[in-house]
Amino acid sequence: MARALLARFADQFSLNELNLLPTEKLTPSRLKTEVLSGLTVALALVPEAVAFAFVAGVHPLVGLYAAFMVGLITALIGGRPGMISGATGALAVVMVALVAQHGVEYLFATVVLMGALQIMAGSLGWGKFIRLVPHPVMLGFVNGLAIVIFLAQMTQFQMPAADGSGPEWLSGPKLYMMLALTALTMAIIWGLPKITKIVPAPLAGIAITAAIVIGFGIDVPRVGDMASIQGGLPQFHIPAVPMTFETLEIILPYAIILAAIGLIESLLTLNLVGEITGKKGGASQECVAQGIANTVTGFFGGMGGCAMIGQSMINVKSGGRTRIAGTVAAVFLLIFILFASPLIELIPLAALVGVMFMVVIGTFAWNSLKILTRVPRMDAFVILLVTVVTVLEDLAVAVVVGVIVSALAYSWNNARRIRAKTHETPEGAKVYQLEGPLFFGSAEGFAELFNPKNDPSLVIVDFQDSRVVDQSALQAIEALAAKYEAEGKRIELRHLSHDCHWLLKKSGHLVVESDDDPDYEVAVDYGVRTGILGGH
C-alpha cells in the first residue's frame, strides 16, 4: 500500500511541479529581500508560538520547536513558495483537551499520526478538493481570520494580576504607552514604503520601536515577560505511550480532527497566497509537505502545526517570494532559541502587536463590505455566516458549514431549473425536450413534467439540453419508463450519454442510439463499474 502511494506520488509530480527549482532569478537584491523578510517573520513567530503553547497546555519550547520544524520542512518542500507554517491556534484549541486528559506524550503520538494521515491525503490527491470551496466562503474565511488575529492580540494588553488571580487589563500610563508604541509601529509600516523599500517595513517598525524602548528604558510588556525562549536543539524522541489498540482509540479521533483542520487552513492559505503571488497548483504537494513536517515534529517534541495566514501575509507583503524566506525564518527562529534569546526577549510586545494589526488590515477583505448588497443574497449570507462561525468556533467548522450551505443553495437553485418543452411529431408522437440538470434535487420535479395516462402511445424524451448527474437521476428515468410501460405505451430516450446506456438496465432497450449522444460519465456509477472510487 505504502509503495503504491509513493509510486503514485512520484508519477504525479515532477521537479518543476514540486516547485523545487527556482521560480525567481536570484540576484543580490532578491536574496537581501528574502533574508530580511524571513527575519521579520521569525520575530513575529516567537510570541505566537509561545502563546499557542500556553493555549495547548504545553511548555513554550514545544511550540517553538514546532514553529521551527514545521516552518523549515514546509518551506523546503511545500506546495507554494512564500507560505509560512508553524504552531497555530486553530490546532492548539483542539490539543488542550488531549493534553489535559492524557499528557504531552500522547500529544506527540497524535501529531505523528496526524502527519501520516495528511501524507495519505496528499498522496491520494485529495488536495484538489479545495477547489470546491466557493469564493464567498473564501471571503468569509479571510474576514473571520482577520478578526481572530485581531482578538488574539488583545491578550498582549493584559498582565498577571498582583494577587495571582489571573490576567488583568493594562491601565494608566502603561496602557497609553503600549497603545502609542503600537501606533508608532503601524505608522512606520504604513509610511516607510513611500520613502524606501530597502528594508521590509515590518522589520523596520519592530527595530525602531524596540530601539526606542530599550534605549529609553521604557517600562512596557516585552517578549521575555511571556516566557523564556532559551533552549537547546530539539532531540529525537519516540512518544512514550503504550503501543496498544487502546492508545490508538485515544489518539485517532484527535489526529483526524487535527489533520483536517491543518489541511483546510493550509490549503486556504495556499489559495490566498497564490492570488497575491500569481501562482497556481500545489495543493496535494502541500498536503504531503504538511504531513511530513508534522510526522517529524512529533518525533522531535513539537506540538505540530499548519500554514499561518498572518505570518504568510507578513512574508509576501515584505517581498518574500521564494523558499529562501521561509527557510531563513525557521533558521533565525532556531538561532533565537539557541543563542539570541536574551536579546529577543527585550523586544516590546507593542512592536509585534503593531505588525499583526497591519496584517489584520491587509488581510480583511474590505471590498466584501461593499459588495454585500450587490451579490446574491445567499452569497452575502454565506460570507457573513463563515465570518461569524470562524470567530465563534474555528475556521475548519466555518469552511465546512459554508461549503454545505453553498452546496445546498446551488442544489436548490438547480432543482428548480428542470423543465421541458413539448411538441408533437407528424406521426403523432409527443416529444419532451428537457432543459436543466437532472439530479437528486430535481428528480421529483422531473417526474411531474410527464403525464403517462394522457400521453399518446409513443413518447420521446430528449436529453439534448439536459445532463444526467447521479444515480438518483438514473433511477428517476427508470421509474418514468416503468410508468409508461405499465400504461402499455412506448417511450424512447434520446441523447443520453453512453455510460447511461450501460447503466439503465431496466430501460436500456428504450434508448435510441445517436451519433451526437453526449459523452460524459455519471461519477458515482463510473466508480462502481470500474472499481475505482471517485471516477477519473
Q: Which of 215-219, 273-277, 514-518 has the highest mean pLDDT?
A: 215-219
**Cell 508534522, residue?**
294
Question: Do 40 and 200 meet the contact criterion of CB atoms below 8 Å apart?
Answer: yes
Average pLDDT (288-314) is 95
Neighbours of 450 (CB within 10 A): 19
Range of weakest confidence among 17-31, 366-380, 452-466: 17-31
Q: What is the pLDDT of residue 475?
A: 87
Neighbours of 88 (CB within 10 A): 30
H/E run at residue 332: helix 323-335
Check pLDDT > 80 for residue 354.
Answer: yes
Closest CA to 433 of 493, 490, 501, 520: 493
Which residues lie below 8 Å from residue 221, measured CB to CB, with a gap of 6+? Answer: 156, 159, 170, 174, 178, 348, 349, 350
Question: Over the stretch 153-171, which tens digit does the pLDDT of each residue have?
Answer: 888 898 876 666 678 889 9
Average pLDDT (428-449) is 91
Domains along the chain with CATH numbers: 31-164+235-332+362-368 (no CATH), 418-530 (3.30.750.24)
Check pLDDT > 60 for residue 295.
Answer: yes
Q: How confident is the model at residue 510 (pLDDT cuts 50, 70, 90)?
A: low
Q: How confident is the model at residue 281 (pLDDT cuts 50, 70, 90)?
A: confident
Question: Do 328 and 104 meet the contact criterion of CB atoms below 8 Å apart?
Answer: no
Q: What is the pLDDT of residue 518?
A: 61
Average pLDDT (461-472) is 86
Grid cell at residue 328: 531563513
Q: How confident is the model at residue 514 (pLDDT cuts 50, 70, 90)?
A: low
What gap in Å lies between CA 149 and CA 128, rounded to an integer? 27
Bigger pLDDT: 429 vs 5: 429
What gap in Å lies between CA 347 and CA 208, rounded to an integer? 10
Query: What SS3 state is found at 103?
Result: coil
Q: How confident is the model at residue 527 (pLDDT cuts 50, 70, 90)?
A: very low
Chain mean pLDDT for the chain: 86
Q: What is the pLDDT of residue 446?
A: 92
Q: What is the pLDDT of residue 511?
A: 63
Partners of 160 in beta bridges: 167
Instruction: Name the DSSP letter for residue 440.
Output: T
Handedness of CA 274, 275, 281, 283 (dihedral sign): positive
Q: How confident is the model at residue 405 (pLDDT cuts 50, 70, 90)?
A: very high
What gap in Å lies between CA 235 and CA 69, rounded to an integer? 12
Q: What is the pLDDT of residue 512?
A: 61
Bridge-based pairing of strands 85-86 and 306-307 is: antiparallel
Q: What is the pLDDT of residue 70?
A: 97
What gap in Å lies between CA 55 and CA 321, rounded to an integer? 31
Query: What SS3 state is found at 470?
Result: coil
Bigger pLDDT: 24 vs 308: 308
Range of weakest confidence among 95-104, 230-239, 283-292, 405-414: 405-414
**Radius of gyration over every alpha carbon of the chain, rounded to an integer in angstroms:** 29
Check pLDDT > 50 for residue 432.
Answer: yes
Check pLDDT > 90 for residue 300.
Answer: yes
Using a 10 angstrom Cβ sphere, with 0-12 exposed, 13-18 middle and 19 or more buried, the burial of residue 359 is buried
Question: Over the stretch 2-30, which tens digit does the pLDDT of each residue have?
Answer: 444 444 444 444 444 444 444 567 889 99
Question: Over the stretch 62-116, which tens digit does the pLDDT of each residue have?
Answer: 999 999 999 999 999 999 999 999 999 889 888 988 999 999 999 999 999 999 9
Check pLDDT > 80 for residue 364.
Answer: yes
Handedness of CA 206, 208, 209, 214 (dihedral sign): positive
% of the chain at pLDDT higher than 90: 56
Range of weakest confidence among 37-46, 80-89, 256-265, 524-533: 524-533
Question: Over the stretch 214-227, which tens digit does the pLDDT of each residue have?
Answer: 999 999 999 998 88
Check pLDDT > 70 for residue 381.
Answer: yes
